[in-house]
Amino acid sequence: GDKKRVLNFSPGPAKIPEEVLLQAQKELLNYRGQGLGVMEMSHRSKEFEEIIAGAEKSVRDLLHVPDNYKVLFLQGGGAGQFASVPLNLMQSGSADYLVSGSWSAAAAKEAEKYGNVSLVVPKPSKFVTIPDQSTWKLNDKADYFYYCGNETVHGVEFQGVPDIPSHIPIVADISSSLMSQNVDVGKYGLLFGGAQKNIGPAGVTLVVVRDDLLGHARKECPSVWDYKVQSANTSLYNTPPCFNVYITALILQWIQKNGGLDAMEALSRQKSGLIYDVIDKSNGFYSSPVDRKYRSRMNIPFRIGTGEEQDQLETEFLAEAKKHRMLQLKGHRSVGGMRASLYNAVTVAETQLLADLMKEFQDRKTD
C-alpha cells in the first residue's frame, strides 16, 4: 500500500496521485492485454496513438481549447520552450518580456540569443510583486509579449490575463500552474508548461498554440521544436517519451474525474489558504515576502523567525518536518527560507498536517 509514502511538498518533479501510480504499476508489464508495457511499445502503434489522442482530448476538454489552437506534447521541458518560443515566433526580431521572477528572467535571457528583448519593467532587486500594468512600456511592434503565470521559485502568481493590444500574441509559461485553474485560452497566442508539477512526470512539455502562429519558424529552428512540423505529425515527428505521455494522460483523466479545473482551482485556494492563514495569524513568527495580491496558490515561500534566530529555526523546522515524513520544504537556494508547493496531487489532509505542524512548532518556540 501507500503507507510508506512521504508527504511530498516538492516544487517539481512533484507528487503523482497514488491511483495513477497504481494503475501504471498494474499495466507496467502488460498494457491492456497487449503483452507488453507502454515503455516497450511502438509510438506508431494503434494503442499509443490512442493514448496520445486521449491526452490531447483531455487537454481540449479541461481547458476548453478553441478549434483554431493546436495541442502539442513536446520534449525539452520548460527551458526548451524558452528557446522554442523565439525560434518560432520572433519573426521581425523583437519581443516584450515581463520579468517577475527567475523563470521569466531565464526565458528573457534565452530569447536574447535570437533577437531584441525588451523588458516592459526594469528588473527589480527582489521578486515580490508585479508592477501595475499602467507602468509597463510596451513595444507596439513586438512579435509577442511574454510572461510567467506563476513564478515557482518566488511564489509570485500573475492574476488574470495581461491587457496587451490584440495584434500582439501573448505567450505564457504556466509550468507551475498548469491545470490548476480555468484559463481563457482564446486570449493567448501560446501557452506552455512542463508536466512535472501538476500533470505528470518530467519529459513532457505541453504547448497550446494558435494555428496562425505556425509556419513562421526561423530557419535555424530545430525540427523537433518547430510547432508546424510537430503539429503536422500530431507530436509524433520523432519518438516521443511514450511512457511519460501515458502517465500524463492518466493524470489528466484523474483531474477530469475529480471535478476538472473548477475543482482544482477551489482546492488550490483551500490548500494555500490553510498555509497563508497560519502565516498571517502567527504575529510575524512566519512571514511571506510576497505582495498579498500576487501570492501563489501553488508555491508558498516563507521565513521562520527573524534576525539571528532565523537560520536555527528553519533548520529545526526542516528536521521536524522530516520526522513527520514531510519532504522538500526547503526554499530555492537563490531565496533561502522555506517553500511549500501544493500542486494538484497534494491533498487537503496533507496540507492540513503541514499547517498543524507549523502551528505546533510556533507554539513550542514562543511560549
Q: Annotated active-site positions, please? A: 103, 173, 197
To ligand PLP, the closest distance from the beta carbon of 158 in angstroms equals 11
Q: Which is nearer to ligand PLP, 108 or 304 (CB)?
A: 108
Q: How wide is the angle at C-alpha 9 spanned by C-alphas 262 and 191, nearest 5°?
A: 45
**Binding residues vs ligand PLP (CB under 6 A):** 12, 77-79, 103, 148, 152, 173, 175-176, 194
CA torsion through residues 174, 179, 182, 186, sign? positive
Report CA-CA distances (Å) from 281 to 113, 285, 331, 358: 46, 9, 21, 11
Determine the angle formed by the axes of helices 77-89 and 102-111, rounding to 10 degrees.
40
H helices of the chain, where? 18-27, 46-63, 77-89, 102-111, 227-232, 242-257, 260-280, 309-323, 348-366
The residue type of 214 is L
Nearer to ligand PLP among residue 14 and residue 355 (C-beta): 14
The SS3 assignment for 248 reads helix
Residue 100 or 288 having the CB closest to ligand PLP: 100
Rounded to a whole number of angstroms, the minimum distance from the CB of residue 327 to ligand PLP is 17
Minimum CB distance to ligand PLP, residue 286 (Å): 23
Cβ at position 83, least distance to ligand PLP in Å? 10
End-to-end CA distance of the chain, in Å? 39
- Count of C-beta atoms within a 10 Å radius of residue 308: 7
DSSP string, 340-365: EE--TTS-HHHHHHHHHHHHHHHHHH
For ligand PLP, the closer CB: 57 or 332:
332
Tell me how far, at minimum, the Cβ of 151 lies from ligand PLP, in Å: 6
Which of 82, 114 has the CB closer to ligand PLP?
A: 82
